[in-house]
């Protein structure tokens, strides 16, 4: 298969971890006789620094022409601490999601055997957890009108949802549930928000088309608790943009490190693959950034194009690295100084020699 992949490394640890994912994809291409080409583009704070724009026109064009986008991370503490900044790195990420119409963000939350001890939660609590979060990604309060009054004393954000925005992601979530444990949980705040009531109404209407899927509802406050006290109750979670942002980052505590959570952002024409972690400027260029989330995002990219054996091999490589403690310091209690690159190299080696790769 021929694939043109746009690579947007972004800020902070973005470039380091993305480099490992690219390395892994190149190894896959080699082993399976695919032709993957990579084209880099600017986004986020690094794009602001070079062009004044967090999402340059050229980046949009490169992404639109590509078969898929591999995204690193964006963000910079400089902007975080300046509530008056008009231009912000996040506009790059939100802009690309919108431009490419990536309305469905899929975030798997899997309690890996080899990481069970890393979690803040008790092992019996999380064992066998396997959740797929479907987060709406191009609507809601992220993309509604915003307003700051002339005198700067009143600020407004708008959360808007339309039926079709809910329907399209709901169908995908129901279908995902059908191929799993056939349970779908809609998370909202329908006891307060009009938009949540629309979500509940639309999902209720669609449900009869998926008679073998059990549908239940949960308020976001309650879900934030249930996710910790009983994570195994969940199969597929469907939710709006902001609640999905919160729940999925919270869910990282089940897995043991946010450094291993991957995601796929899917639209009707385009697809982008990105870790759920941020830019962690403080950790940048130290070789300590965990590349697993980015590598697993590359795995989701392969799955997306039907390259299931290839994706499985990437995941096996990751599993093996976890089992053998070839991991960055956030996860490693056995070896010191296993760097970002070293983890990438190990998984690359594994792909080239699945039988032989071992602890050397």
Using CB under 6 A as the criterion, which residues of the chain lie in contact with ligand IPM when the complex forms? Answer: 75, 90, 93-94, 191-192, 221, 245, 276, 278
Member of 172, 206, 242, 324 binding its own copies (CB under 8 A): 242
Q: Which of 79, 134, 210, 234 is in the footprint of its own copies by CB under 8 A?
A: 79
Helix (H) or strand (E) holding 57: helix 57-65
Q: Which residue is listed with tokens 């009054």?
A: 149
Rounded Cα distance between 339 and 114, Å, is: 19
Question: Token digits for 27?
Answer: 């190894």
With CB atoms as reference, the residue minimizing the distance to ligand IPM is: 90
Cβ atoms within 10 Å, residue 148: 10
Binding at 239: pick from its own copies, ligand IPM, none (beta carbon under 5-8 Å per type): none
Strand order in the sheet with 2-10: 35-40, 2-10, 68-73, 271-275, 262-266, 104-110, 130-136, 236-239, 183-188, 214-219
For residues 94 to 133, the per-residue mask of contacts with its own copies, x marking binding by CB under 8 A and - elsewhere, is x-------------------------xxx--x--------
In terms of CB distance, is 12 or 278 closer to ligand IPM?
Answer: 278
C-beta pairs of 294-297 under 8 Å, 24+ apart in sequence? 294/17, 294/18, 294/20, 294/21, 294/70, 294/72, 294/262, 295/17, 295/20, 295/21, 295/24, 295/262, 295/344, 295/347, 296/260, 296/261, 296/262, 297/21, 297/70, 297/71, 297/262, 297/263, 297/264, 297/273
Nearer to ligand IPM, 126 or 258 (CB): 258
* Of 10, 15, 72, 75, the one binding its own copies by CB under 8 A: 75
Binder of residue 258, out of ligand IPM, its own copies, none (CB less than 5 to 8 A by kind)? its own copies
Query: In the stretch 192-231, what mask flags binding to its own copies with x, by CB under 8 A?
Result: xxxx-xx-xx--x------------x--xxx-xx--xx--
Q: Which of 4, 38, 114, 141 binds its own copies (CB under 8 A)?
A: 141
253 binds its own copies (CB under 8 A): yes
| Contact criterion met (CB below 8 Å) for 165 and 136 | yes
Residues interacting with its own copies, by CB under 8 A? Answer: 75, 79-81, 83-84, 88, 90, 94, 120-122, 125, 141-142, 144, 146-148, 152-164, 189-195, 197-198, 200-201, 204, 217, 220-222, 224-225, 228-229, 242, 245-250, 252-253, 258, 278
């Amino acid at each position: 298969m021929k694939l043109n992949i746009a690579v947007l490394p972004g800020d902070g640890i973005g470039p380091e971890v993305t480099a490992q994912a690219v390395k892994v994809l190149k190894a896959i291409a080699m082993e399976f006789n695919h032709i993957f080409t990579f084209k880099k583009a600017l986004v986020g704070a690094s794009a602001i620094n070079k062009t004044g724009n967090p999402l340059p026109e050229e980046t949009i064009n490169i992404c639109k022409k590509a078969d898929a986008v591999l995204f690193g991370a964006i963000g910079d503490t400089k902007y975080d601490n300046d509530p008056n900044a008009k231009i912000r790195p996040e506009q790059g990420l939100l802009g690309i999601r919108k431009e490419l119409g990536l309305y469905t963000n899929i975030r798997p939350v899997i309690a890996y055997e080899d990481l069970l001890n890393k979690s803040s939660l008790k092992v019996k609590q999380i064992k066998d957890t396997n959740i797929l979060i479907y987060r709406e990604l191009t609507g809601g309060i992220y993309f509604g009108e915003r307003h700051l009054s002339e005198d700067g004393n009143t600020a407004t954000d708008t959360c808007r949802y339309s039926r079709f925005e809910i329907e399209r992601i709901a169908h995908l979530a129901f279908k995902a549930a059908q191929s799993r444990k056939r349970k779908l949980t809609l998370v909202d705040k329908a006891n307060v928000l009009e938009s949540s009531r629309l979500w509940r109404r639309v999902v209720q209407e669609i449900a009869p088309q998926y008679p073998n899927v059990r549908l239940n509802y949960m308020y976001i406050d309650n879900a934030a608790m249930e996710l910790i006290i009983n994570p195994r109750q969940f199969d597929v979670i469907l939710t709006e943009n902001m609640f999905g942002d919160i729940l999925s980052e919270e869910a990282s505590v089940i897995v043991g490190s946010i450094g291993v959570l991957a995601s796929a952002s899917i639209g009707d024409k385009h697809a982008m693959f990105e870790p759920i972690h941020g830019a962690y400027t403080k950790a940048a260029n130290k070789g300590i950034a965990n590349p697993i989330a980015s590598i697993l995002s590359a795995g989701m990219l392969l799955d997306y194009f039907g390259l299931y054996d290839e994706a499985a091999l990437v995941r096996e490589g990751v599993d093996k690295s976890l089992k053998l403690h070839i991991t960055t310091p956030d996860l490693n209690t056995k070896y010191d100084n296993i760097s970002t690159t070293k983890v990438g190299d190990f998984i690359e080696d594994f792909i080239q020699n699945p039988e032989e790769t071992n602890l050397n």
